[in-house]
Amino acid sequence: MGIENQRFTNLRVDFLTNAAMQSILMEMPLAMYACDVNGIIKFYNAEAATLWQMHPTIGEDTWRAVWKLYRQDFQALLSEEFPIFRTLKLQVRHSREELLAERADGSIRHLIIYSYPIFDENNLFNGAYELIYDVTDQKKARTHHQIISSVIESAEDAVILKDLQGLVIGWNNGAIKLLGYISPEIIGQHISQIIPTDRQKEDEQIMELIKRGERIRHYETILKHKSGRWIPISLTISPIRDENGKIIGVSKIAREITQEVAVRKMLELYNKKLKQENQYKDQFLSLASHELKTPLTSAKAYIQLILHNANKHRKYYTFATKALLSLGKLENLINGLLDVSRIKIGKMTYTMAEINVRDFVENTVEDVRQFTEVSRIQITQLDDSRVMGDKLKLEQVLINLLNNAIKYSPDGEVVQVAVKKIQNKVVISVSDHGIGIPPQSINLLFDRYYRVNHTADNFPGLGLGLFIAAEILKKHDGTYWVESTLGEGSTFYFSLPLS
C-alpha cells in the first residue's frame, strides 16, 4: 500500500456524514464525491453538482449515473476503465488522467481526475473518493495560444512583439530571416537596436498612437539588419491587449520592400527622363515648325508673284496653282504643330467676341465647300443662337470636323451639319457615313498624336486636329463627344454656352 493510500486509513466512508466535515468539503472549490465499495454515491459537494450539471440521489445512484467519459481522442471509456472503478476494484489510488466528460446536456469538459481508496479503522477497504479538476478554460486558452503562436511562427512575414517599454518579447522565423538575429540574441533587448537613430523619435510617436489603441498599416520605414545593412520595410503596427483589453505591448508585422522601393526609384527616374525627353521633343517641334514656316511663307509669296505674272503661260499657271495648294496643306500641318506647342506652354491666345452661330456655321461650311463638291455638305438644321468666343479658333474646330468627315468617308457620302439650341446651349454636330470608329478608340481620339490604328495608314494626318479642337472648346467652357458605329459612320458634337 503506497503512502497516499494511507490518507483515509482508520476512517470509514461514513465519516463523510459528519456534519463539520461535510460543510468543509461542501464549500471546497474543487469537485469531490465519494462512494461506497459498491460504487453507490454517498456524498458529493456543490462544485461536483455544478460540474455534472445534475444532482444524483445519495445512497441510490452510482458513479455511472453522472457522465460519460472519453479519452482525448474521443474514444469512449468502458466502465471498467473509469478511474473510480479501478480504485474500487484494485483498492489503489488512480492518479491523474486527462479525460473528456460528456455531461447530461451534451456539453464537453476537459478534466483531470484523481481517485483515492478509503480504508476504515481496521484497515478494511471501505470505498473511494474522487477529486476532479475542470481544466476546460485553461485548455481552451492554451489551444488558442498554441494556434496563435504557430500561426505567428509559420508566417512568412516577420512578426516582432515588444512590450510597452520597447523590449523585444517575441521574434518569429520571418524576423530571423529578415533581420538576421536569432531569438536569444534579440529577445529582451531594446527595439531601438534595429531602428535607425534618426527614426527613433518617429518610433516613439508611433508608440504614443498605439498606446491610444490605434493601428498603423503599411507604414514605410527602414530597419537595421544584424550585419548593419538597412532594409526598406513596410510595417503594420498593432497593440497587443491582455484579456481585460488593457494594452500590454505592440506587434509589428514587417515585410521587406527592397524590390518595390527599387522599382519605384527606377520608375521615378524613368519618368523624369521621359518628361525631360518629352520636353525636348516639344521644344524641338516648336522650333522645327517655326523654322519650316519661314521658308514656306517666302516660297508661297514667290509663287503668288509667279501666279500673278503667269497669265500668258497657262501651263505655269496650273503648276503654280498646284504648288500653292500643296504649300497650303503644308502650312496647315505646320500651323497644327505650332498650335500644339502653344497649348503645351499655355501660350494660345484667345480674342473673345460675340458670334452669331448661324452666320458662323454657314460661312465656315461655304469655305470648306470650295475644296469639295458643293453638294457634299448639307446643313440640316440651323437654329438662331449667339455665343461668346474666338471666331477664328472655333472656325478651326468646325473646319477640322468637316475635313475629317470628308476625309474619313472616302466614298463621297454626304456630310450633315446641324445647329440645335438645347436649353442654354447650342449643340453643333457633324455627321458622316464613312468608316466609323471602333468603340475602344472613341475616348482616345482627343489625345495628342492619337490616330485610329487601322485608318492611320490609309489617310493623311498627324492626329493633332481633335486634340487642338478639344483644347479650344475647353477654353470656351464647351463640351464635345462622339457617337460612332464602325463601318457606318460617326457624328462629332460640340456644345457652347449661349451668351
Residue closer to ligand ADP (CB basis): 398 or 445: 445
For ligand ADP, the closer CB: 422 or 456: 456
Cβ distance to ligand ADP smaller for residue 181 or 408: 408
d(C-alpha 321, C-alpha 300), whole Å? 11
CB of 461 to ligand ADP, least distance (A): 2
We find the least distance from the C-beta atom of residue 483 to ligand ADP, in angstroms, to be 11
d(CA 185, CA 169): 12
- Nearest distance in Å: CB 449, ligand ADP: 9
Minimum CB distance to ligand ADP, residue 329 (Å)? 11
Instruction: State residue 186 phi and psi, 5-degree precision.
Output: -115, -30
Q: Quick one: cell of 67?
A: 457522465
Distance of closest approach, residue 281 Cβ to ligand ADP, in angstroms: 18
7: helix, coil or strand?
coil
Determine the Cα–Cα distance for residues 20 and 31; give it in Å rounded to an integer.
18
Amino acid type, 359: D
For ligand ADP, give the closer residue by CB, 463 or 497. Answer: 463
Kindly list the strands in the beta sheet with 41-44, ordered across the sheet, starting from the edge strand earlier in the chain.
41-44, 31-36, 125-134, 108-119, 98-102, 68-70
What is the DSSP pairing of strand 377-382 with strand 415-422?
parallel
| Nearest position to ligand ADP, beta carbon | 461
DSSP reduced 3-state for 474? helix
What 3-state DSSP class applies to 157? coil
Buried/exposed 161-189: b ≥16 CB within 10 Å, e otherwise: bbeeebebbbbbbbbbebbbbeeeebeee
Pairing label, strands 31-36, 98-102: unpaired
Q: How far is the CB of 292 from ligand ADP (least distance, A)?
A: 17
Residue 207 or 469: the one with the smaller Cβ distance to ligand ADP is: 469
Which residue, 36 or 432, is less far from ligand ADP as judged by CB? 432
Q: Which is nearer to ligand ADP, 210 or 464 (CB)?
A: 464
Contact indicator for 235, 219 with CB cutoff of 8 Å: yes
CA distances for 456 relative to 184, 188, 442, angstroms: 69, 70, 15
Furthest C-alpha separation in the chain? 157
CA 357/CA 7 separation, integer angstroms:
116
Closest-CA residue to 398 (of 436, 360, 372, 435): 360
Q: Smaller CB distance to ligand ADP: residue 113 or 430?
A: 430
The number of residues making up the chain comes to 499
Shortest reach from residue 428's CB to ligand ADP, in Å = 14
Say which amino acid occupies 375: S
Of 338 and 452, nearer to ligand ADP (C-beta) is: 452
- In the complex with ligand ADP, the residue whose CB is nearer, 57 or 458, is 458
| Secondary structure of residue 311 in the 3-state scheme | coil
Nearer Cβ to ligand ADP (348/445): 445
Beta carbon nearer to ligand ADP, 254 or 435: 435
**Minimum CB separation from ligand ADP for residue 475, in Å?**
17
Q: What is the nearest approach in angstroms of ligand ADP to the Cβ of residue 481?
A: 13
Q: How far is the CB of 337 from ligand ADP (least distance, A)?
A: 11
Q: Minimum distance from CB of 474 to ligand ADP (Å)?
A: 15
Query: Which chain residues interact with ligand ADP by CB under 6 A?
Result: 400, 404-405, 408, 432, 434-435, 437, 445, 450-452, 455-456, 461-467, 490
Q: How far, in Å, CA of 337 to CA of 333, rounded?
A: 6
Minimum distance from CB of 484 to ligand ADP (Å)? 7
Residue 427: closest CA among 473, 373, 368, 485: 473
CA–CA dist 438, 490 (Å, integer): 10
Distance (Å, rounded) from C-alpha 13 to C-alpha 36? 7
Strand 386-389 with 230-241, pairing? unpaired
Residue with Cβ nearer ligand ADP (321 or 485): 485
Give the nearest distance from C-beta 333 to ligand ADP in angstroms.
9
Decide: helix, strand or coil at residue 209.
helix
Cell of 183: 531569438
